[in-house]
Every structure is written in structure tokens, then in C-alpha cells.
Amino acid sequence: MATSVACAFFFDVEPLGEPGRHALDACALCSKPLTRNSDIFMYKGDTPFCSEDCRYEQMHHDAAYARQASSSRRKQQQSQRSRGASVAAKADVYVAS
């Protein structure tokens, strides 16, 4: 019985800034409605999913996005280092007068 009361509590709470929209109304990935008597699979604390498959797909998408962002940062840092190295090499050139 205590479990159903706790679940009902989550459905009755509205997130700040979104009046009329409950936090656990629908799956964050496929938008399938979530019912009071269904299992809800959470990810990152407050994101509901209707199934483990939807949650896994979102986790996989987030991991791919993180890898892509990391790769972009790495390429940008390498580019900055190579530009810095060429400036430093130019700075060491002495002209005899």
C-alpha cells in the first residue's frame, strides 16, 4: 500500500515552470502515456521512460553525443596547440643585422 501512495505522490506534482504538465505523464523518448499502475524507468534522476528499451536508447544516444563532443573538443585543442607551436617557432627566428 505504501508504494501506491508514493507513486501517486509523483503523479500529483507539477514541475516548476510547466503548469498543467505533470512530470511523469509520458515517456521522454516515445511519448507513450505512463499510467499510474505501470512501471516507470527513470534516467538521470528525473527523466521517465515507459520501458527499459526506451531508457537504454536514450542512454546510448547520450553516450554517443558525449563521445562526439569529446572528440570535437580534442580536435579543437590539438588545432590550438599546433597554431601555438607554429607561433612559438616563428618567435625563435632571429634576424642578423
* Lookup: cell for 90: 616563428
In a domain, 41, yes or no: yes
pLDDT value at residue 41: 94
Residue pair 43/67 in contact by the 8 Å Cβ criterion: no
Distance in angstroms (rounded) separating the CA atoms of residues 38 and 15? 21
Written as one letter, the residue type at 36 is R
In a domain, 84, yes or no: no
92: in domain: no
- Average pLDDT, integer, range 47-71: 94
Range of the domain at 53: 2-78
d(CA 93, CA 90): 6
pLDDT tens sequence across 62-93: 999 999 998 888 888 888 777 665 555 555 55
Domain total in the chain = 1
25 belongs to a structural domain: yes
Kindly state whether residue 66 falls inside one of the protein's structural domains: yes
Give strand pairing partners of 47. 43
